[in-house]
Chain A
């Protein structure tokens, strides 16, 4: 990683690895979703990220904001349900905050990720502990920011974020869902991992791998 910055090809690699992870684990994600949702999260995310990779492959972009606007809009228009708007908003806000640049340093990457998280909060109106993707994303961003604040680079920060996201995902198991379709199950939603938190853990695992 030259000069401690993250390049456009590395960001594309992040998306490609995320696409690979949700596609490989589509059955697992759908199984998680059939326990407490409507059994389509794996199929929806795999379809959406496949569309994203096709779009990126067909129309290469020159700047980070352009790339993520394309990613966000593709997800929004191809995923449907709640995951489409949530992941779509995440990437749209990520791109807007990153701006028309071709590389990001650790702090800029952190700021873009944080803007994505704020977008997810604004869109989904969930709080940490509601058993949603936020339960993986919020601790991941806190870990990322703490690393950057202590002088670490984007690679180390992403690795810490990935571990924190996985822990956040695992911590959704005993929770009772308070948002989304799972919330209608009440107490019956406890004892299952949240599928959105599981796919978000893949998002940070992919980032960590792409920057390693």
Chain B
């Protein structure tokens, strides 16, 4: 008996997650993506998700990528009207330049490639090297837009700058629609930069998150506290404060956004995003609170998105993203999209 118990003990995973080997989480998950989405093409070697059909000749390719653990971002946004390819790094680790270069070469339809990069030091450097390599070796024209919408980073002069978070989702939708219309690379890149400049986000965590390979929570957060201004990798936020009611949390999220940018006088696209560990009933409740505050502040919500779109593994919590829109943004937002993570108009 003792031998079999010992064997059993060795089989028991060290971390309570739906995984096999912690080292193979990304590879195993991509197998599932391929099984669930025959309309996509998965390059398991380079960990790239492509649309099933090659990029149409003359269409700008829009690609993005980053560390895993933020699903559905980015792979869940590959498809008609959004991304042409998404590159996955290990959990919370940037993909390497050779992976990004491969996606850039394959996705290029001759009209150039837009890289959408969240402002994290590793992501920025790896995409930058990939763009240099793609240009030097294959002559592919690359434009890069770096998102940096996180108002939680106050001292952006003396840090690596504001982090790229929720606006990345809205930007991938809007830039993807513009590319689908047949706009050229410079025009899609310019539009993408305008979206980034007009959006702001703020997030909060009720719990930490557990990276499978680490096997324990990234940070300790007592039951009666919450972390305001958290990033999407469990990095610390602005303040650790006592747990509060949803109405109060909404206030703490929306206030810094409105203080940072004037959203009045234009329609807004608002995303209430779950961090991965909070149920939809809470996310809708939070959206109701956020909408109330925004309307009281004279902001008209023209479109909204409620759900888990840019997550932080199993972290409980949410983020708010507000984009000051115009007719062009709204038209592109409403354009057909057919991806695993977003689908309408098709």
A151 within 8 A of B: no
The winner among A78, A181, A188 for most chain B CB atoms within 10 A is A181
Does B231 lie at the interface of the complex (its beta carbon under 8 Å from any beta carbon of A)?
Answer: yes
Provided the pairs A76-B98, A80-B93, A184-B153 are in contact, do residues A39 and B214 lie with their beta carbons within 8 angstroms? yes
How many whole Å from B154's CB to the nearest CB in chain A?
A: 9
| A27-57 to B contact mask, C-beta < 8 Å, 1/0 | 0000000000011100000000000000000
A77 touches B159 (CB 8 A): no
> CB-nearest residue of chain A relative to B154?
A186
A89 in contact (CB, < 8 A)? yes
Q: Is A88 an interface residue (CB 8 A)?
A: yes
Whether B231 and A85, one on each chain, are in contact in the complex, defined by CB atoms closer than 8 angstroms, is no
Within 8 A of A (CB), among B193-239: 214, 231, 233, 235-236
Residue of B nearest to A78 (CB): B96
Interface bracket on A? 20 to 34
Q: Which of A78, A84, A176 contacts B126 (CB 8 A)?
A: A84
- B79 is an interface residue with CB less than 8 A from chain A: no
Write out the residue numbers on chain A whose beta carbons fall within 8 Å of the beta carbon of B93.
40, 80-81
A212 within 8 A of B: no
**Does A121 make an interface contact (CB < 8 A)?**
no
Q: What are the residues of chain B within 8 A of A207 when measuring CB–CB? A: none
B176 an interface residue at 8 Å Cβ cutoff?
no
Are B159 and A123 closer than 8 Å at their CB atoms?
no
Q: Which of B117-125, B260-268, B270-278 contacts A (4 or more CB under 8 A)?
A: B117-125
Bound-state Cα–Cα, A82 to B98, Å:
14
Whether A178 lies near B125 (C-beta < 8 A) is: no
Bound CA span A85–B155, Å: 25
Measured CB to CB, the closest approach of chain B to A44, in angstroms, equals 9
Tell yes or no: B89 within 8 A of A by CB.
Answer: yes
Q: Does A179 contact B (CB under 8 A)?
A: yes
Within the complex, the shortest CB–CB distance from B72 to chain A, in Å, comes to 22
**B96 contacts A183, C-beta separation under 8 Å:** no
* Residue on A nearest B158 in the bound complex, by CB: A178
Describe B's contact surface by its main secondary structure: loop
* In the complex, chain B residues whose CB is within 8 Å of the CB of A79: 96
Q: Are B96 and A184 interface neighbours, CB within 8 A?
A: no
Complex CA gap A163/B120 in Å reads 32
Q: In whole angstroms, what is the CA distance A78 to B90 when docked? A: 11
CA distance A179 to B92 in the complex (A): 18
Chain B, residues 295-317, CB within 8 Å of chain A (1/0): the string is 00000000000000000000000
Count residues on chain B whose CB falls below 8 Å from chain A CBs. Answer: 27
Identify which of A38, A40, A89, A185 contacts B129 (C-beta below 8 A): A89
Please, which residues of chain A bring their CB within 8 A of the CB of B153?
184
A124 interface contact, C-beta 8 A: yes
Check A179–B160 contact: CB distance below 8 A: yes
Distance between B282 CB and nearest chain A CB, rounded to angstroms:
27
State whether A186 and B159 are in contact (beta carbons under 8 Å apart), knowing that A80-B95, A80-B126, A85-B125 are contacts in the complex.
yes
B108 within 8 A of A: no
| A124: chain B residues within 8 A (beta carbon) | 121, 125
Residue of A at shortest CB range from B152? Answer: A184
Min CB–CB distance B121 → chain A (angstroms): 5
Whole-angstrom distance between the alpha carbons of A80 and B126 in the complex?
Answer: 8
Distance between B134 CB and nearest chain A CB, rounded to angstroms: 14
**CB distance B121 to A180 under 8 Å?**
yes
Q: 7 closest Cβ contacts across the A-B interface?
A: A183-B159, A85-B125, A81-B122, A82-B122, A77-B98, A82-B121, A180-B121
A interface residue numbers (CB < 8 A to B): 38-40, 73, 76-82, 84-86, 88-89, 123-124, 176, 178-181, 183-186, 188
Partner-A contacts on B (CB < 8 A) = 89-90, 92-98, 120-122, 125-126, 128-129, 153, 155, 158-160, 163, 214, 231, 233, 235-236
